[in-house]
Amino acid sequence: MKKITAVLLSILLMISALAGCGGAQNNHADIKVVTTVFPIYDWVREIVKDDVDIKLDMLLDNGADLHSYQPSATDIMDISDCDVFIYVGGESDKWVSDVIAQAKNKDMVVLDLLDILGDKAKEEEVKEGMQEDEHEHEDEKEEHKESKEEHEEEHEYDEHVWLSLKNASLFVTEIADALGKKDAQHADAFKTNAAAYTDKLAELDKQYKSAADSAKTKTLLFGDRFPFRYLTDDYKLDYYAAFSGCSAETEASFETIVFLADKVDELGLKAIMQIESSDGSIAKTIRDNTKSKDQEILTLDSMQSVTQKQVNDGETYLNIMQNNLEVLKKALE
């Protein structure tokens, strides 16, 4: 579990001191929305379109990883006076509660995606052959050494909730409702836009299901972290991976490499997967330890490191998920 740093605490105190300094909010926009990750940002764009003058900010806009991100002073000030704040929830967002508590706008609508999922949220999974995160376990032991029972009762959830198209449809509907509460004049337009967008998500979901149902192979193998559990569960696919989705590990052990290489041989897999931020070294090492050494290395985009430049160049959630579908088809051939 991440701890709020001394720098963050000092920033929060500064915001608290400034809270009474006055000043009008949102003079240049009807509504101000702050999001953490790219998928949420893009969903808001699709819901709002050109129907309202909105100030929309994405905090993780420079390729920063959700799991290592800590808000800057500018980020905290940005959240402090927004109308709607939307974040993923989970271990990586433990800093949020302190920031919200010190926010200037006490009428802010806050959406936590894991909270919206409720009992549909999936716990972080350690699969057979997967290398456990030793650094994380050391941190957890230190943090909970005085309360072992409390530690055992805690659940760490898989935060990559946006990689399920079914989840995305649920989130888009909830976000549209939240925006409508802050801008009742455009609430109907938000719902209409959200409905049109969820139709597109549903159509793409059907294409994924068709590809998975007709696939000869039903297993993906990642020489990397594995943030796609929501996606594979949606389409009843199995997987193996070097690390869990939220792991901080970057180097695979000899045992992990051998296990995964043997799985490639056993299952006759023609592809080894990685995510977009990978340097490919683990996937290549796994391939080098297989019998045929000829597997293709394919990349699925988990959308954890989308930059503002990509956004400006026209990148969208749907585009990435459509591209992922084509990669998935190739991997499952």
Q: What is the pLDDT of residues 212-224, one digit of tens each?
A: 999 999 999 999 9
Structure tokens at 82: 């927004």
Q: Which residues of 166-181 are buried (b: 16+ CB within 10 A; e: fewer)?
A: bbbbbbbbbbbbbbbe
CA pair distance 231, 217, nearest whole angstrom: 16
With cut-offs at 50, 70 and 90, classify the pLDDT of residue 19: very low
Compute the average pLDDT of residues 40-51. Answer: 94
Compute the average pLDDT of residues 295-301. Answer: 98
Query: What homologous superfamily does CATH list for 216-331?
Result: Nitrogenase molybdenum iron protein domain (3.40.50.1980)
| Residue predicted with more confidence, 325 or 126 | 325
With cut-offs at 50, 70 and 90, classify the pLDDT of residue 13: very low
Nearest CA to 48 out of 185, 149, 148 is that of 185
pLDDT of 29 reads 66
Tell me whether the CATH fold assigned to 6-18+25-116+159-200 matches the one assigned to 216-331: yes
The answer, yes or no, to whether residue 140 has pLDDT greater than 60, is no
Which residue reads 């056993």 in tokens? 266
The answer, yes or no, to whether residue 197 has pLDDT greater than 60, is yes
The answer, yes or no, to whether residue 23 has pLDDT greater than 50, is no
Compute the average pLDDT of residues 165-177. Answer: 98
The answer, yes or no, to whether residue 24 has pLDDT greater than 50, is no
Nearest CA to 228 out of 296, 94, 321 is that of 321
- Return the top range by mean pLDDT from 70-74, 91-95, 320-324: 320-324
For the chain, which residues make up each domain, given as ranges? Answer: 6-18+25-116+159-200, 216-331
With cut-offs at 50, 70 and 90, classify the pLDDT of residue 38: very high
pLDDT of 134 reads 60
pLDDT of 62 reads 83
With cut-offs at 50, 70 and 90, classify the pLDDT of residue 144: very low
The domain made up of 6-18+25-116+159-200 has a fold known as: Rossmann fold (3.40.50)
| Residue predicted with more confidence, 1 or 230 | 230
| Residue predicted with more confidence, 293 or 151 | 293
Please give the sequence-ordered ranges of beta strands (E in DSSP) within the chain, or none if there are none.
31-35, 54-58, 84-87, 109-112, 219-226, 238-244, 271-275, 296-300
pLDDT of 313 reads 96
- Return the top range by mean pLDDT from 24-38, 227-241, 244-258: 227-241
With cut-offs at 50, 70 and 90, classify the pLDDT of residue 235: very high
DSSP per-residue codes, 200-246? HHHHHHHHHHHHHHH-S--EEEEEEEE--HHHHHHTT-EEEEEEETT
